Amino acid sequence: MSKTVTLTSYIPSGNPENKHFTIQETVQPTADDLETGDLLLQSMVMSADPYLRSGCKSEEKGGPIPRPMTGFVAGKVLASKLDGWVAGDLFSASLPFCDVQVLKGKDARGALLLKLTGKVEEKNISHGIGVMGMPGSTAYGGLLDVLRPEKDREANGKKPETIWVSGAAGAVGSVVGQIAKQVFGCTVVGSCGGPEKGQLCRDVFGFDHVVDYKTVSTADELVAKLKECVPEGIDMYFENVGGMHFEAAMKVLRPHGRVAVCGGIARYNEGERQAERFFPTDMIYSFQRVEGFMCLPWLSGQKGNFLDDMGRWIKELKVVPEETFFQGIEAWPMAFQALFTGKNVGKVVVRV
Amino acid sequence: MSKTVTLTSYIPSGNPENKHFTIQETVQPTADDLETGDLLLQSMVMSADPYLRSGCKSEEKGGPIPRPMTGFVAGKVLASKLDGWVAGDLFSASLPFCDVQVLKGKDARGALLLKLTGKVEEKNISHGIGVMGMPGSTAYGGLLDVLRPEKDREANGKKPETIWVSGAAGAVGSVVGQIAKQVFGCTVVGSCGGPEKGQLCRDVFGFDHVVDYKTVSTADELVAKLKECVPEGIDMYFENVGGMHFEAAMKVLRPHGRVAVCGGIARYNEGERQAERFFPTDMIYSFQRVEGFMCLPWLSGQKGNFLDDMGRWIKELKVVPEETFFQGIEAWPMAFQALFTGKNVGKVVVRV
């Protein structure tokens, strides 16, 4: 039988819990079920990501229930009737969280099907949903093309630019900070919750400064913590969190500062969502910019050279992938919960 | 004697009034007072602009009082000891609102001194503080380089992009909308207060749609009015106003939409300023951008070809300058007040 993670009740507010999900069993498809253009896929790893929270809120947000949870998986092709693909190929795609399934040829593009063969080793297949997948391409695109760290500053006698990354121990933030530090030479401030994550950011990721947001409760207190690290403020902010983080970032953002809006996990469990406090006129004389983005242009290869660049940076040890593993498809709901209770570091991966 | 508009009491909140200002008289300088590098300048016109409101609020914002009000003036050189300048040259600069004054050579750059001879006729000297000056370059830079209307859409079989300009009958907004319409072929929605300004926007400036913001009192009501004009929303928003205007703009902003933040006059009279309600995560999947800017790079010629382009568009009647005149330096406080009570259309000019 195939197993599929299934949402069985809406979660209008609050943390996701086990009771909201079930593992549904269905007859397992085989190579005999394939038509021309189809692939039979074995999921080896499944992703749990904060962006999935929104679709759980209501029928309006994500459609009727029960329904399969859908997100990034990576694994192996069991059988192929699709040109260019053979059994044994490694893949990643956005699909139902199901262990064995058929991907119809017509759906391949919509599922963001990527071939990982030659890019990711099978033992590192989890990278296909992490540093070499959606979160990695989010970090890559957001930093290189949205924030755009200024190049050659030292050659021009300037100090490096400063970047603050929130959710710095997470799947996206950890990669943003490492690229900023190792590739662009930025001064990196990472914020995260608790001393263990802070130590990881400093010792493993090499960030210059760490702020534990759990030690403060207002934007002004967070500003004070940031100013202890970087008294002159920040040139870039990579936004994964929202709430007091966003307000504090705008208060310490320097002239020509940029904010890349990638997520706002602090608000994902809210029922009626709250607005951020924002002063657009503060951006006028300072030529500041706030810009939203998601990974698609870079993950699809439409922009940049994500897989090649990131693969090289990993080999050069400029980017160290960090992962938290959960075992078995039955553990997916727990893995998802961990994102909102701060129990993960790096990429949350469910090994099937 | 020389006359100078002087701030005599702070205006922490509320509309500016005559009582906050005085006209101070001092001995008039002559050519004999010039040292090498200096100019003796006769102001013919003085500008009143919303951005001057902030400096009136407190010592912290603008320095101790009494002090001269400083802003853009245009006029004629009476005597010159500065290379490249001769008596009779036309100029614009950011200077104290004084009828006859010496500009020291070392201060010329900081005063944004521009030679208008050959660019603006003497009978149109007011253009030097309007469409060919700070407000014009604000409109030019904000539209061309911050909002960046997509070119050649019709050739590619696409509908024109839609822009909403707030403060549409004002010095900046009227020029933004006309360039967007006449040069870029955009669909233009202008918002302003009252039917007379609306008629001007439609009949003289040629905007496609007009919204009278005085007929609504909430962001949602403003959204409804905008959707009557442009049901599919807007691609660009030129922000001059703030408050419900900003919130409404974000609600009708389409994917890949851009907001250029130029001003926020709705909040300039506030004592303790209020934050805008803002939902940054709405910008993620839509790749939206909010960016602040002011005129300096374009006015100074560092970016673009402002004076040449704008001069040509005026000759081609693509941009029709609109001005409201006040007579005499003594009228400057009244001219300034008109900006906040909505009594002006186009550029507010004080003829000296």
Q: Where are the beta strands (DSSP E) in B60-208?
A: 67-68, 70-80, 90-96, 100-103, 114-115, 162-166, 187-192
Q: What is the pLDDT at residue A152?
A: 78
Inter-chain CB proximity B264 and A280 less than 8 Å = yes
What φ, ψ does residue A192 adopt, rounded to 5°? -160, 180
pLDDT digits (tens, 9 = 90+) for A185-199: 999 999 999 999 999
Nearest to A174 by CA among A194, A152, A201, A203: A201
Quick count: other Cβ atoms within 10 Å of Cβ B43?
28
Taking the C-alpha atoms of residue B306 and residue B145, their distance in angstroms, rounded to an integer, is 12
pLDDT digits (tens, 9 = 90+) for B96-106: 999 999 999 99
Strands A234-239 and A253-261: parallel
Class of domain B136-292: alpha beta
Taking the C-alpha atoms of residue B256 and residue B153, their distance in angstroms, rounded to an integer, is 15
CA A188 to chain centre: 18
CA B51 to chain centre: 8
Q: What is the pLDDT at residue A154?
A: 82
Q: What is the mean pLDDT of residues A108-120?
A: 95
Q: What is the mean pLDDT of residues B198-226?
A: 98
| Predicted interface score ipTM higher than 0.85 | yes
Q: What is the mean pLDDT of chain A?
A: 97
Contacts with B262 from chain A: Cβ below 8 Å: 284
Q: Is the pLDDT of residue A318 over 90?
A: yes
- Say if residues B38 and B81 touch (Cβ distance below 8 Å): yes
Res. A162 pLDDT band, cuts 50 70 90: very high
Does residue A285 sit at the B interface (CB-CB below 8 Å)? yes
Check whether the bond before A64 is cis (ω within 30° of 0): no
Inter-chain CB proximity B275 and A273 less than 8 Å = no
Q: What is the mean pLDDT of residues A227-256?
A: 98
- Say if residues B29 and B100 touch (Cβ distance below 8 Å): yes
Q: What is the pLDDT at residue B151?
A: 81
Q: What is the pLDDT at residue B155?
A: 84
pLDDT digits (tens, 9 = 90+) for B259-307: 999 999 999 999 998 999 999 999 999 999 999 999 999 999 999 999 9
- Say if residues A131 and A105 touch (Cβ distance below 8 Å): no
Inter-chain CB proximity A291 and B294 less than 8 Å = no
pLDDT digits (tens, 9 = 90+) for B151-199: 878 888 899 999 999 999 999 999 999 999 999 999 999 999 999 999 9
Inter-chain CB proximity B277 and A278 less than 8 Å = yes
Q: What is the pLDDT at residue A302?
A: 97
Shortest alpha-carbon distance between residue A147 and chain B (Å): 12
Q: What is the mean pLDDT of residues A274-296?
A: 98
Inter-chain CB proximity B280 and A261 less than 8 Å = yes
The residue count for chain B: 352
Percent of chain B with pLDDT over 90: 97
pLDDT digits (tens, 9 = 90+) for B54-97: 999 999 999 999 999 999 999 999 999 999 999 999 999 999 99
Output the CA torsion B181→B182→B184→B189 (10° steps).
0
Q: Is the pLDDT of residue A352 over 90?
A: yes
Cβ-nearest to B284 among A280, A286, A293: A293
Inter-chain CB proximity B292 and A276 less than 8 Å = no
Taking the C-alpha atoms of residue B262 and residue A292, their distance in angstroms, rounded to an integer, is 20
Q: What is the mean pLDDT of residues A320-338?
A: 97
Hey, what are B44's tokens? Answer: 């013919």
Q: Which residues contact A202 (CB under 8 A, 6 or more apart)?
A: A210
Q: What is the mean pLDDT of residues A152-160?
A: 87
Q: Is the pLDDT of residue A98 over 90?
A: yes
Give the architecture-level CATH label for domain B2-129+322-351: Alpha-Beta Complex (3.90)
Shortest alpha-carbon distance between residue B172 and chain A (Å): 15
Output the CA torsion B299→A259→B278→B291 (10° steps).
10
Contacts with B280 from chain A: Cβ below 8 Å: 239, 242, 246, 259, 261, 264, 276, 290, 292
Does residue B239 sit at the A interface (CB-CB below 8 Å)? yes
Greatest CA separation for chain A: 65
Inter-chain CB proximity B286 and A275 less than 8 Å = no
What φ, ψ does residue B162 adopt, rounded to 5°? -110, 135
Class of domain A2-130+321-351: alpha beta
Q: What is the mean pLDDT of residues B219-242?
A: 98
Q: Count Cα neighbours of A300 within 13 Å in the Cβ-side half-sphere.
A: 11
Q: What is the pLDDT at residue A93?
A: 97
H or E element in which residue A255 lies: strand A253-261
Q: What is the mean pLDDT of chain B?
A: 97
Res. A99 pLDDT band, cuts 50 70 90: very high
Inter-chain CB proximity A267 and B281 less than 8 Å = yes
Q: Which residues contact A64 (CB under 8 A, 6 or more apart)?
A: none
- Say if residues A239 and A264 touch (Cβ distance below 8 Å): yes
Angle between helix B306-315 and helix B134-141 axes, rounded to 10 deg? 100
Q: What is the pLDDT at residue A155?
A: 84
Q: Which residue of A has its CA nearest to B277?
A: A275
Q: What is the mean pLDDT of residues A88-99?
A: 98
Quick count: other Cβ atoms within 10 Å of Cβ A105?
17
Res. A156 pLDDT band, cuts 50 70 90: confident
Q: What is the mean pLDDT of residues A293-301?
A: 97
Inter-chain CB proximity A264 and B280 less than 8 Å = yes
Query: Could you state, in order of their start, the residue ranges of all structural domains in chain B?
Result: 2-129+322-351, 136-292
pLDDT digits (tens, 9 = 90+) for A133-142: 999 999 999 9
Nearest to A346 by CA among A178, A111, A94, A143: A178
Quick count: other Cβ atoms within 10 Å of Cβ B191?
31
Q: A23: which strand partners?
A: A5
Q: B323: which strand partners?
A: B347
Taking the C-alpha atoms of residue A3 and residue B19, their distance in angstroms, rounded to an integer, is 78
Output the CA torsion A308→A309→A311→A316 (10° steps).
140
H or E element in which residue A163 lies: strand A162-165
- Say if residues B208 and B188 touch (Cβ distance below 8 Å): yes
Q: What is the pLDDT at residue A264?
A: 96
pTM of the model: 0.96
Q: Is the pLDDT of residue A40 over 90?
A: yes
Q: Which residues contact B72 (CB under 8 A, 6 or more apart)?
A: B46, B47, B49, B92, B93, B94, B129, B133, B134
Which site among A253, A278, A294, A296 would you substitute to test the B interface, given the most B Cβ atoms closer than 10 Å to its Cβ?
A278
Taking the C-alpha atoms of residue B104 and residue A117, their distance in angstroms, rounded to an integer, is 70
Contacts with B265 from chain A: Cβ below 8 Å: none
Which site among B283, B288, B295, B300 would you substitute to test the A interface, given the most A Cβ atoms closer than 10 Å to its Cβ?
B283
Q: What is the pLDDT at residue A153?
A: 86
Q: What is the pLDDT at residue A151?
A: 81
Q: What is the mean pLDDT of residues A258-265?
A: 97
